[in-house]
Amino acid sequence: MLVTAADRRGADELFARARERLDAAGSIGSDSADRIDAASGGCVRFARPPEAADLPGDPDAVIVDEAAALPVALLERFLDGPPAAFCTTVHGYEGAGRSFDVRFRGSLADAEREVIDVRLDEPIRYAAGDPVESWAFRALLLDARPPVAQLVAGAAPETVTYEELTPEDLLADEHLLREAFGLLVLAHYRTEPDDLARLLDAPNLTCRALLHEGRVVSVALLAREGGLDDATSERVYCGERIRGNMLPDVFTSQLRDRDGGGPVGYRVMRIATHHAVRSGGLGSMLLSEVESEFRDDDGRDADLRGERVDYLGVGYGATADLLDFWAENGYRTVHLSTTKNDASGEHSALMVRPLTDDGADLAARHAEWFRERAPGVLTGPLADLDPNVVRRALRAVDDDAVPEEPGLSGRDWRVVVDAANGMGSYHAAPAAFTELALRDLVLGDAELEPSAERLLVEKVLQNREWDAVASDLDRVSTRMTMRAFGDACEPLVETYGTTAAKEHREYWD
């Protein structure tokens, strides 16, 4: 049996119970912190969620504890494996949002699996009806919910109003507070009581929303970052952490940009739209209204303090769909983290929407640096990253980050042209193929099919073996995959090839 949880401590009671039962039966073979072997040959073992989702060791069953503290996309990966038990608290958010209770149950309904729902309604920590529990739920908004679907079903861009929700507004109207916070809880897989305190008290946070007939249908939580003076920027550059400045910290300390903390930005910490009107353009409208608010008539941007705002930014666990959403709203990729989130297994994407010349300069240099380091990180720490995430991240890079002309020599072009005609070898000039693949994955001028783009990512940028690429793409054979690679090179030559390259192509014609 395989056991996983967002936090290893969450599985302590399960392991304690397993030891108790096996010990009573005299069946414990060996025992360690993360694995108990039974004398009969079976075992109970722990793995972190991203590793467990790969079902290592082909387990007979899986227990996912604290399931609501994990992203829905990660939970869905367990649905293709052996019988699984998803154990979680869904009443209140106790360290987690309500994505499990709302979104994951939809995935369960769509899965071709028998679902058995077991509930524990008898309180464990408190007696039934204990007034302390009632007070805690109200004080911490553990039961906060968005409006019921019927009240917002008619919400559309033309029916909503854009408003700032100040802490004073929220404290004066408990229904407004519950609806706004309920939406934020629902949209995120991990919410804590501290998030409520930050919403109401944090000096660098501000909230914007779309209201339909007075009901909250879309909400965004924004964090002011940057504007660091030279001395503070230097301390960050030397490793000091400045709380509340996630993007400037990455730009300055990780990506070694001494000027990365100077421009002022607002980071979209969370954005959520009511599930009843999702995919109706409200999230994009909210982002557009936020941008418009900060932009005055002479092209300079100002927040409510009258301070210029240089950019809007966002950082999140990268998925193909989310990358598309942010790219469609004008945000451009400047970084993919090389480490995974321990709970979700996702790499974070950082994207920026410039608003001033200073913001544009910041975005431009980081987009260029991202393109320059992409070949190195994609064959190293990002070699196993989903190729579709790589495709979408690169397509969201600003076009200006790509040099006007590819820097291929005459010999490089001959190798590429020959590959397009079934004779050249990728290994004869890998750097040439890398440059062309990066160029087209950003620009898209060759109009390759998604399968061809994915092939370029896996073989050229992530340097995977031909057999592994063929298997991952469900190709008939490795030979057919190599032929498809040649077919993908043809439009690259047509689109980006020099006169000499096209003349060499005539040799094959």
Query: Average pLDDT of 380-391?
Result: 94
> What CA–CA distance (Å, rounded) separates 420 from 487?
6
> What CA–CA distance (Å, rounded) separates 4 from 62?
8
> What CA–CA distance (Å, rounded) separates 66 from 367?
38
What are the E-state strand segments in 373-481?
Answer: none
Q: Of 234, 230, 262, 235, whose CA–CA distance to 247 is shortest? A: 262
Q: Of 148, 54, 136, whose CA–CA distance to 102 is shortest? A: 148
pLDDT of residue 95: 44
Asked if residue 421 has pLDDT above 90, the reply is no
Q: Six-digit token pair at 46?
A: 């722990």
All domains in the chain, ordered by first residue:
2-110 (3.40.50.300), 149-396 (3.40.630.30), 402-508 (no CATH)
pLDDT tens by residue, 273-324: 998 998 899 999 999 999 999 875 444 444 545 678 999 999 998 999 999 9
| More confidently predicted of 469 and 119 | 469
| More confidently predicted of 186 and 457 | 457
Asked if residue 496 has pLDDT above 80, the reply is yes
Query: Average pLDDT of 337-353?
Result: 88
pLDDT of residue 298: 46
Residues in the chain: 509
Asked if residue 90 has pLDDT above 70, the reply is no
pLDDT of residue 300: 44
Q: Of 293, 266, 286, whose CA–CA distance to 183 is shortest? A: 286
What one-letter code names the amino acid at 235? Answer: R
Across the chain, mean pLDDT equals 89
pLDDT of residue 294: 87
pTM score, two decimals? 0.85
Asked if residue 178 has pLDDT above 70, the reply is yes
pLDDT of residue 189: 56
Q: CA 358 → CA 197, 294, 310, 341, 349, distances in Å?
A: 33, 15, 6, 31, 21
Give buried/exposed letters for 298-321 (b at 16+ CB in 10 A, else e).
Answer: eeebeeeeeebbbbbbbbbbbbee
Which H or E run contains 460? none
pLDDT of residue 171: 94
Asked if residue 191 has pLDDT above 80, the reply is no
Helix, strand, coil percentages (3-state) for the chain, rounded to 5, are 45, 15, 35
| More confidently predicted of 295 and 449 | 449
| CA-based torsion, 157, 160, 162, 166: positive or negative | negative
Which range is least confidently modeled, 20-29, 374-383, 455-464? 20-29
Residue with tokens 């007979």: 60
Q: Of 478, 489, 410, whose CA–CA distance to 453 is shortest? A: 489
pLDDT of residue 306: 62
Asked if residue 271 has pLDDT above 50, the reply is yes
Q: How far is CA 251 from the centre of its chain?
A: 18
Asked if residue 99 has pLDDT above 70, the reply is no
pLDDT of residue 301: 46
Which range is least confidently modeled, 18-27, 188-197, 224-233, 472-481? 188-197
Paired strand residues for 43: 37
> What CA–CA distance (Å, rounded) separates 269 from 194?
14
One-letter-per-residue 3-state SS of 354-399: ECCHHHHHHHHHHHHHHHHHHHHHHCCCCCCCCHHHHHHHHHCCCH
pLDDT of residue 310: 96
| More confidently predicted of 203 and 107 | 203
Pair 73, 51: CB distance under 8 Å: no
What one-letter code names the amino acid at 500? Answer: A
What DSSP string runs through 270-337? EEEE-GGGTTSSHHHHHHHHHHHHTB-TTS-BB-TTS-B--EEEEEEE--HHHHHHHHHTT-EEEEEE
